[in-house]
Structure 1
Amino acid sequence: MELRQIQYFVAVAEELHFGRAAERLHIGQPAVSQQVRRLERELRTRLFDRSGRTVTLTPVGQALLPEARELLRAMDSFAAKAERLAEQSEATFRVGISSALGERLDDFLDALPGRGDGTRFEFQTLDAHTRLEEVRAGRLDAAFVRGVESAPGLRLLTLWHDPLVVALPAAHPLAGRDPLDLADLAELPLRIAARTENPVLFDAVVTACRKAGFEPVLGPPFTRLQETLAEIGAGAACWTLMYPTAAPMVSSRRVALLPLNGDPITMRMFLALRENADPGRLELLTAASTQVRRMVDEENQSRRP
C-alpha cells in the first residue's frame, strides 16, 4: 500500500468522479483508476460502487474515509514539522546580552545540546529594558536578563544564580578581610542603582543588610559600573556590589573584590523568550538552561568559604 493510493482514494471519494479527481491531482484519469483498483485489491474489498452512471462510496469506503483523511493530515503535519526543523537548524538565533556576561556566555553555549549545531548566533549588547522589548517585538529571539521576577508576555528560564561580590578601595582596612562579613560594611556608604532603576537588586541588598543588623547608608548615586569603580579606586570611602562575571572589568589594583561570608546575596540570570516560542527551540533552550544552571550552582558551591 502506498500513500499516493490513499491520496487518490480520498480525492475520488470527495469528488465522486474519477475525471474531476484526476484534474484535482494534476494527473491522468487512467493512473487514478489504476491506483484505486490496486488499493482495492490489496485491501480485498471494493471502495467504490461503479455499477451505475455515478460513482458512490461502498459502506466499507465510507467507513475508511475518515481514517484515510487522518493519514493525509498526519503526512502534512510531518512534512510541515520537518520543514520547520530544517529552517530552525539554519536560522540565525538573535540574542540580547549584557556587557558583563563574561565566560557565562561560553558556559551557556557549551550546554546547548549538540552545541546548537546548524544555528548561527547573533548577539546584541543592549540595556535590560530594551532587551525585553526587543524580544516582545520579535526582533530578538531571546535575551539574557537579570533584575526581573516577571515579564508579561514572556517566558523566563532560570539560567544561574550570581553571588554578588563587594568592591571597595584596596587601601581601606576592610580590604584585608577575605571573606568579608556584610555587617562590617555598616558604616561605609553604599553605591547602588536606585530602586526605580533596579528594584530586584536594590531590595535584595537592603534586605540582606537589614538581616545583618544594619540599615545601609546610601552614598552618591550609582552611575555606570566603570565610573563607579574608578571613583572607588581613587579612594572614595564607599562600597558597591558587582557580578563575579564583571570581575575582568576591574583592571585597577586600587580596587579590591571580596566575597561575602555566610549566605551570599544572589541575583538570578534568566533567558527571556516569547510565550509562543517554537516548541522545538523551547525544548532545546530549556535543556541548556537546566544544564548550565546545574554546572554554575556546583561551581558556586565549591567556591563558598
Structure 2
Amino acid sequence: MDSLGRDSHGRDVHSRDLRYFVAVAQELHFTRAAERLFVSQPALSKQIRALERQLGADLFVRESRGVRLTRAGAALLPYAQQVLEHWRSAVGAVEHAKTEERATLRVGMSTRPARGGLLPAVRSRFGDAHPQATVRLRQVSWEDASAGLADGAADVAFVWLPLPDMERYGWVVVAEEPRHVALPATHRLADRDEIDFADLLDEPFLALPKSAGALRDYWLALDARAGHPPRIGAEIASTDETYEALVDGRGVCLAAAGNAPLITLGGVVTRPVRGITPSRFALAWRVGDDRRPLVAAYIKACGEALGRAE
C-alpha cells in the first residue's frame, strides 16, 4: 500500500475498509465487530473479503469460535491503526480550521481609530478574506492600557504605545501624531498658538489610572521632565471624564492631535506642544496569537489598509 492508500494494483483502499479490518482484528470475532461498527455481519464479512482480494492476501484465519490474524494481517494492523489515527487528526484539523473561519474576532479599543477611515478599510479587507467570521468591537476603559489584550477580552486591539509588559505583545504602528495639550479656554496659556512643554511643568495634570502603567507615565511626559515630578490634578478613565475635569479646571492633559476634536466641545482648547515626542497609535496582539488565522488575517488587512506590503 502506498502513501495515497492504494494497493499494489493501484486500487483505492478506503478508510472504511481499514476501520472494518481493525475492528475485526481487535475483537477477533466478526459478529462482535459488526455490532461495534453498527453494520450487519454479512456486510462486514463481504467488505473484509474485498479488502483481502485487493491486497492479494488473507488477513484472517476463520475458525468456528472466531478468527485470528494471519501473518499478513498482523503486519497490516499497526499501519492500519496509524493511518486511521492520522485521518482522525486530519479531520480534527479541518474542523478546527472551519471553526476558526467562522469564529468571532474581538477587537479592543480605548480610542476609536477613526483616523483616515482606517477601521472601515480594515473591516472591508478582512471581511472580503473571511466572510464567515464575525468582528466584535469592544470599547475598553483607559484603566486597561492593553484595551483587553492582557486579560484575553480582546484578540487584537488598537492601543497607544507604550504598552505595559511590552514583551508580551506584537504591534504595528498605524498612526503617529503630535501631542497637543488640552486646557480650559480661560487658561493663561490658551491664547498661544503653540506651547513649550517647559511652560507646563508646574501645571496640575490629568493622569490615566495607575493601572495604565507606562502609558500613564507617557501621557504625563515623564521623559521630558528631567526629573521634575508631575502634579496630579485628577485621574481620568474616559473622554467624558477628561472633558469634565478640563472644564472644571482640575488640570491640563496631553492628547494626540487626532483626539483633540473629542474634547474641544466648548470651554476647552488644544494647542501643539514643543519639546515632546509624537504619540504612536498601534494595532497590537499577544505574542504567539499572530499564528491564529483570524488574528493574522486582521493584521494583514490592517497592513493593506495602510498601503504597506505584507
**Root mean square deviation of aligned Cα:** 4.2
> Is the contact made by 1:111 and 1:289 (CA closer than 8 Å) also made in structure 2?
no
- Alpha-carbon spacing, 1:10–1:244, altered in 2? closer, same or farther (3 Å): farther
1:192 Cα deviation after fit:
3.5
- Say whether residues 1:50 and 2:65 are aligned partners: no
Which of 275, 278, 294 aligns to 1:284? It is 294
Q: Distance in 1 between matches of 2:33 and 2:280?
A: 67
Identity of aligned residues (%): 24
Structure (1 or 2) with the greater helix fraction: 1
- Partner Cα separation in structure 2 for residue 52 and residue 110 of structure 1: 68
Residue number among 154, 171, 175 corresponding to 1:158 in the alignment? 171
Tell me what 1:84 maps to.
96
Q: CA deviation at 1:113?
A: 7.3
Residue 139 (structure 2) aligned to one of 119, 125, 144? 125
Provide, for residues 259-302 of structure 1, a one-character-per-residue CA deviation record: whole Å limited to 9, x for no partner: 767742446553359x8x7x97x23303422553686597xxxx
Instruction: Give the TM-score of the pair, scaled to structure 2.
Output: 0.70
**CA distance in 2: counterparts of 1:218 and 1:297, whole angstroms:** 41
Change (3 A) 1:233 1:15: same
Alignment of 1:57-72 (within 5 A): 57-72=69-84
**Corresponding position of 1:218:** 231
Equivalent-residue separation in structure 2 for 1:255 and 1:50 (angstroms): 94
One-letter amino acid of the structure 2 residue matched with residue 150 of structure 1? D
2:155 aligned residue (127, 138, 142)? 142
Structure 1: gaps (5+ residues):
299-305
Query: What is the TM-score normalised by the length of structure 1?
Result: 0.71
More strand by share: 2
Alignment of 1:138-217 (within 5 A): 140=153, 142=155, 144=157, 148-150=163-165, 156-160=169-173, 163=176, 165-169=179-183, 172=189, 175-177=192-194, 183-187=197-201, 189=203, 191-193=205-207, 196-204=210-218, 205-210=220-225, 213=226, 215=228, 217=230
User: What secondary structure does 2:253 align onto?
Assistant: strand
The letter of the residue matching 2:233 is: P
Q: Displacement of 1:8 after TM fit?
A: 0.8
CA-to-aligned-CA distance 1:42-72 (integer Å, 9 cap, x gap)? 1222222236754111222222212211221
Deviation at 1:249, TM superposition (A): 1.3
